[in-house]
Structure 1
Amino acid sequence: MSAKKPSREFRNLDLQLIATKYRLPFAGKVSILHRISGVLLFLSLPVLITLFLYSVASPETFAQMGVGAGGVFLKLVALVALWGFMHHMCAGIRFLILDLHIGMDKVSAQKSAIAVLIISLTLTVIFAIKLFGVL
């Protein structure tokens, strides 16, 4: 007597089911945030290059950039760019280690994903404290 193969189960993945039934693991969240931070860094390059060129054009423009850097809006933009860089760097290191087949099991991958989130947010908070002049 041969055992019958179980039939495949197909699930309807509409947005309501995803929000209620399926939870994305931290590794998936880190992967999505890595892509978002990469796009953020890529799209901010023209603005950052323009600001850099403007700041090194002359001593007067450098002084104007210093005055403008005191604004809260510019600091928040810089903070978002810093988060993008910190997260992209930390997640990139994680993915390079995974490419070496280190930490590929589920528990290690989960721990490294959580570590990426904690480290990148901690570094961002440290830079935010320095940027906003709390210390």
Structure 2
Amino acid sequence: MNEVTKKRPEFRNINIFNDVRTYRLPAAGVLSILHRVSGIIMFVLLPFLLWVFDMSLRTPETFTSVTGIFRDGLWILPGFLVKLGVLVLVWAFLHHLCAGVRHLFMDVNHHAVNKEFGRKSALASFAVSLALTVVFGAKIFGLY
């Protein structure tokens, strides 16, 4: 027999104990997972955000107490941890926004969807969201 046989690619399932530590997702995969994580963070912290917004708009005294939360802290959390929590929320919003704009752009421009564009746009989304988070973080922590 003179048949040409090609070796077929082998697709293995990932072993949770051995392969997960060494498996590397592409940048677009990491962006996608963090897009979901940032959405969950925003959803979980929504009651806190609504409470802070409500308190800041009631009276001048409650506005002063809300600004005091960032200076003095909240219950057992010191002010630094409150600011860090707000920074995490800011990162979640900015990351979710940048990744969402990327997804919308890819939905509109079907011809732009390929592996190279996915990698470059994921890295650009990371860069923009992290740069904006640094700017807002400097403002939150009073660096300027």
TM-score, structure 1 as length reference: 0.90
Assess, with a 3 A threshold, how the Cα gap between structure 1 residues 122 and 41 changes in structure 2: closer, same or farther.
same
Residue 77, structure 1, aligned to residue 77, structure 2 = no
Q: Which has the higher contact order (CA 8 A, sep 6+)?
A: 1
Q: What does residue 20 of structure 2 align with?
A: 18
Residue 93, structure 1, aligned to residue 101, structure 2 = yes
Q: How does 1:1-135 map to 2 (within 5 A)?
A: 1-4=2-5, 6-7=7-8, 9-15=10-16, 16-20=18-22, 22-70=23-71, 71-100=79-108, 101-135=110-144
In structure 1, C-alpha distance between the alignment counterparts of 2:134 and 2:58, rounded to whole Å: 31
In structure 1, C-alpha distance between the alignment counterparts of 2:136 and 2:114, rounded to whole Å: 33
In structure 2, C-alpha distance between the alignment counterparts of 1:133 and 1:10, rounded to whole Å: 52
Identical amino acids, percent of aligned pairs: 44
Uncovered stretches (5+) of structure 2, i.e. residues with no partner: 72-78
In structure 2, C-alpha distance between the alignment counterparts of 1:66 and 1:44, rounded to whole Å: 18
In structure 2, C-alpha distance between the alignment counterparts of 1:132 and 1:47, rounded to whole Å: 20
DSSP 3-state at the match of 1:19: coil
In structure 2, C-alpha distance between the alignment counterparts of 1:83 and 1:68, rounded to whole Å: 20
DSSP 3-state at the match of 2:45: helix
1:63 offset after TM fit, Å?
0.9
In structure 2, C-alpha distance between the alignment counterparts of 1:43 and 1:91, rounded to whole Å: 19
1:52 offset after TM fit, Å?
1.0
The CA RMSD measured in Å over matched residues stands at 1.6
TM-score, structure 2 as length reference: 0.85
DSSP 3-state at the match of 2:40: helix
Uncovered stretches (5+) of structure 1, i.e. residues with no partner: none
Task: Tell me how many residue pairs correspond in the alignment.
Answer: 134
